[in-house]
A and B are shown apart, each in its own frame.
Chain A
Amino acid sequence: LLGESVYRSCQTGETTLRVAVHFYGFVRDVARNNALALELPAGSTLRDLFNEMIKLSGEKLRDRLFTHGGDLETNVQIFVGADQVTSLEQVIADGAGHSQVKIIVLSATAGG
């Protein structure tokens, strides 16, 4: 669900990257949609992607995914295509001009 303003802001790059983002796990209550389709300038990093998503979904999403220091929470797992990614500075690319990003937020739902 591509926001028009986001789409326009992404048109400044020479080429663009279509990113399909899927949210799974303990994030449904703060991500407004389970899935987002975004278009970003080619060469965008995961951090750029997250910034866009937070613009769309609000600060609660940031609070769920990030520490106050800006690091990813340890229960957040990100996959670009089939590969698990740990650095937010990673450039998003798993195909020619399009990419699938899965964000899985695990939760400790029970103890011993």
Chain B
Amino acid sequence: MEAPMAQEDVWIPTTCGTCYSVCALKVHRVNGTVVKIEGNPESATNRGRLCPRGVSGLMTLYNPDRVNTPLKRTNPDKGLDVDPGWVEITWEEALDIVATRLKSIRADDPRKLLLTGTVTTQDEVPFAKIFAMAFGTPNGWNSGAGNHCGTAEHLYGALLHASWAKQPDPDHCNYLLNFGTAAGFGSYYCVTGMAQRVAEARVRGMKHVCIDPFLSPSAEKADEWIPIRPGTDGALALALLNVLLHELNIYDADYLKHHTNAPYLIGDDGLYMRDVKARTPLVWDPVDGRAKRFDALDVQDFALEGNFLTEGLRARPAFALLKEHLQRFTPEWAEPITTVSATTTRRIAKEFGAQARIGSTIVLDGKVLPHRPVAVTYFKGAQGHKNALLNCMALELLTEIVGASNVPGGLLGMNSCSLGHPDTGQPKWIPQSDRDGLLVTGKWPNHPPPYPPREVKGPETIDLRSMIPTCPGSSGALPVVMADPQRFKVPYQIEMNFQVGANYLMTFADPTAVAKAFEKTFQVSFALFLDEATYLSDIVLPAASYLERFSHTTDWMASNSPVGEWCYHLRQPVVEPIGQRRSVCEVLLDLVERLEMREEFYAVANVVLELKGPYALEPDRPVSWAEIVDRRYKSLFGAERGLEWFKEHGLLKWPKKVEEVYWKYFSHARVPIYFEWFKPLGKNVAIMAERLGIDIDTSAFQPLPEWRPCQSYKENSPEHDLYAIYYKFPMQTFSGTYDNPWLDEVCNLDRFAYGVAINAHTARRKGIQEGDWIEIESAATGHKIRGRAAVTEGIHPEVIGIAGCGGHWSKFLRIASREGKGLCFEWLTPVGLHNVDIPSLTQDLCVKVKVAKGGARP
């Protein structure tokens, strides 16, 4: 019998949504069914390739565990494992319930609404943020504030690179010093594109040195792996800086003089010496022998060292203070902290310093630019500690000292500068400088960017961010404050959580404590699956996945590769939403009408989406989500390139200019190597905290880096003798993909995916063998989890490594909740300000544990 002829056989361009990289796809649909997903070779972002998560997306689209209809809770009791007693309701009924609640909250105090989202709903969360802003609440929480987010790293992204994220220059970098990040290997932004480009760089001869407690998926691709004790990367960076400045005398004086605040004069009070009239910082001109404004046209040279008298006061250049400050951080000082030998530290510093090729230049597009082919990368692993702000500062200074910041070969912001499409000049953002000459981002995903610093204010938000404005995004303090707002003098309690895809119970810390903070709120969840966080929901709305919806916001600044071409894509539905699933954005517009807040919503949307002139939203009539997408594209790329054009072509690309990629050399903005403003800010935070009766340690607000031990270093029980760490695993995205059968199959092939990496010598000492069930007990929470031992030489002997966000317990996730599908690291880490880096509100992620054979599921 002959097979029936296919009536439809199409490939549809769209974008991936299984992580925040937003790779370009070609989706093969036959007779209305998606049968294959491939990378779009036309895209400059991922250049035709996809990771396993992208390929497996159709198994999420058709997963029988997906939510397909609105649900209402019938069980009034809430808890981590309490069955909500779901009953199906209509959309009309669901939205009536939600709108009635929202109206009441808005009339009372709009701050009582919280928005939780996640980075994998990158296109929906920004639109939900517009909704939240128009509603009138400042409260939001991306679950990334936990294990996944770079937090303090993003702060320095703003201060030093004018960007949310950064990557090594894959075209010209020759020496990559990677402090435990998978950037360029298996995760982070532009993941597939950068994995290809970094692989090409390695073939070209780039040396990759990876410093990581675990021989991770990126460390295994390194030329050299240096195991380090968790939470001590900052100490090693300080020692490397010490060797560069005090033993090798290697630094880029020209860069420091003209592109940083290194020559700014600092008084005895630790603050800038300022011009009496203009109030701008002073520098010392050694040729004329006097202090001048940093921006004076007659500065002939900038002193980097020395002691000077100006206006009768003593002053020293910031660089001199940094150099002196670093003197005590010798390799011998760092060795017992990091376990990295002083010999190795000196060798790495020497290699790094030599490879920086200070003084060399390169000609690109006819322009002579500095050539500094070294980069230092890090992300959550190095920074997710109690000492996050100061760890990151030390790590960043390595790049700055040798002048490898945003120049060919160095560390590049993703994408700090955009001069726009040749036809329209849009989208456009250019790094600027403030009155002190310091860098201000041209674009930032939140409002406002972290610099210039905001004033310290009272408890306006539920997460201390209004009081601690150095937190660049989500705050590790939120569950603490939400559980007891009165203690923090917050004058309201959150009444509703609007949840857009964030499984926050499995991505932050101790699920019991997090649940406690949330269980009294009325929770409305836009959900793909009935995951753990939906156990606390009152209403669940079936969300359309990325293959079932439109989006324009897949073009945010970190999606593009830092080099090569700009590439803007359209996310479009490749099938009609299955069941009663709906696009979150469409539902939000529906709620805008029900809440009668169209005027407010459109006003805010026009500002955030930069919709102007004929593309601005006018409140005289409602617009659809598709129309907003159309207007957004037309406003960027001209009237002829709207939704229909993108539906057909899928993407628009054009070459990047040298001035965009290597913007630093073309910019007057300086970056800090001395973080002067942290000092007064910290003082003001301390004053506010005292006024409110909040006990927090503000001593880390300081202008120069140092290393401080994590909370776990104080846990000295002899039985809890190992550190547990979490690391990203490239086969899964956070907790959201564990119910995908293809990814499960892949993970079953890798013993580390669902297992616990433990050092061979440590395992032998504890009588543990490969494949044994082992129980892990946290010294901080007392909780126990268990998994199978993956015995290896590739992990620090004091450490066990847990991959990803497995260990699901929701019975509605029929694959993910089976025994042996990974571990939930969050059971091990405590919720509390004692475990948070105060300036960045970063959650500390290393914890002392007791490990033994056996054990039962928690």
Contact = CB atoms under 8 A, between A and B. Distances in A.
A90 B502 CA distance: 44
Interface in B170-219: none
Interface string A27-41: 111000010000000
Most buried by B among A26, A77, A102: A26
Interface residues of B, number: 49
Contacts of A24: 134, 599-600, 603-604
A28 B106 contact: yes
Interface in A82-112: 102, 104, 106-112
B297 to A, nearest CB: 27
B144 A111 contact: yes
A28 B110 contact: yes
A26 B600 CA distance: 11
A110 B603 contact: no
A112 B136 contact: no
B447 A107 contact: yes
A9 interface: no
Interface in B556-610: 599-600, 603-604, 607-608
Contacts of A29: 109-111, 136
Nearest to A107: B138
Interface string B152-178: 001000000000100000000000000
A73 B458 CA distance: 14
Nearest to A84: B607
A68 interface: yes
Nearest to B602: A24
B54 interface: no
Contacts of B454: 73-74
B424 interface: no
Interface stretch (B38-46, B125-133, B266-274, B689-697): B125-133
Contacts of B608: 106
Interface in B257-287: none
Nearest to A27: B136
Interface string B493-529: 0000000000000000000000000000000000000
Interface string B431-473: 0000000000000011110001011011010000100000111
A63 B457 contact: yes
Contacts of B164: 112
Interface in A42-87: 63-64, 67-68, 73-75, 77
B473 A108 contact: yes
Contacts of A28: 106, 110, 136
B493 to A, nearest CB: 14
Contacts of B446: 108-111
A111 B142 CA distance: 6
B474 interface: yes
Contacts, number: 109
Nearest to B457: A63
Contacts of A108: 138, 140, 446-448, 465, 473
A107 B132 CA distance: 9
Given A108-B473, A110-B142, A112-B164, A26 B136 contact: yes
Given A28-B106, A104-B603, A110 B473 contact: yes
Given A29-B110, A74-B454, A109 B140 contact: yes
A111 B109 CA distance: 23
Contacts of A18: none
A111 B149 contact: yes
B225 interface: no
Contacts of A112: 119, 142, 144, 149-151, 154, 164, 445, 472-474
Nearest to A34: B600
A25 B607 CA distance: 11
Nearest to A74: B448
B431 to A, nearest CB: 16
Nearest to B126: A110
Given A68-B455, A75-B448, A109 B138 contact: yes
B473 A104 contact: no
Interface string A1-21: 000000000000000000000
Contact of A26 (B137, B150, B448, B607): B137
Nearest to B447: A106
Most buried by B among A22, A107, A112: A112
Contacts of B136: 25-29
Contacts of A27: 136
A108 B132 CA distance: 10
Contacts of A67: 455
B494 to A, nearest CB: 13
A17 B110 CA distance: 32
Nearest to A31: B136
B352 interface: no
A68 B142 CA distance: 30
A104 B609 CA distance: 14
Most buried by B among A22, A67, A73, A111: A111
A67 B456 CA distance: 9
B141 interface: yes
Interface in B330-388: none
B666 to A, nearest CB: 25
A25 B472 contact: no
Most buried by B among A27, A102, A109, A112: A109
Contact of B141 (A64, A107, A110): A110
A22 B619 CA distance: 13
A110 B117 contact: yes
A34 B599 CA distance: 11
Contacts of B145: 111
A112 B853 CA distance: 37
A64 to B, nearest CB: 8
Contacts of A106: 133, 447-448, 604, 607-608
Contacts of B603: 22, 24, 102, 104
Contacts of B137: 26, 107, 109
Contacts of B106: 28
Contact of B132 (A68, A73, A75, A109): A109
Given A108-B138, A110-B446, A112-B445, 11 more contacts: A28-B110, A63-B458, A74-B447, A75-B448, A104-B603, A109-B446, A111-B140, A111-B446, A111-B474, A112-B164, A112-B473
29 contacts: A22-B603, A24-B599, A25-B136, A25-B604, A26-B138, A28-B110, A29-B111, A29-B136, A64-B460, A73-B455, A102-B603, A104-B603, A106-B608, A107-B137, A108-B140, A109-B115, A109-B139, A110-B116, A110-B140, A110-B474, A111-B140, A111-B141, A111-B149, A111-B472, A112-B119, A112-B149, A112-B150, A112-B164, A112-B473
Interface pairs A-B: 7 shortest CB-CB: A111-B473, A109-B140, A28-B136, A111-B474, A110-B140, A108-B446, A107-B138
Interface of A: 22, 24-29, 34, 63-64, 67-68, 73-75, 77, 102, 104, 106-112
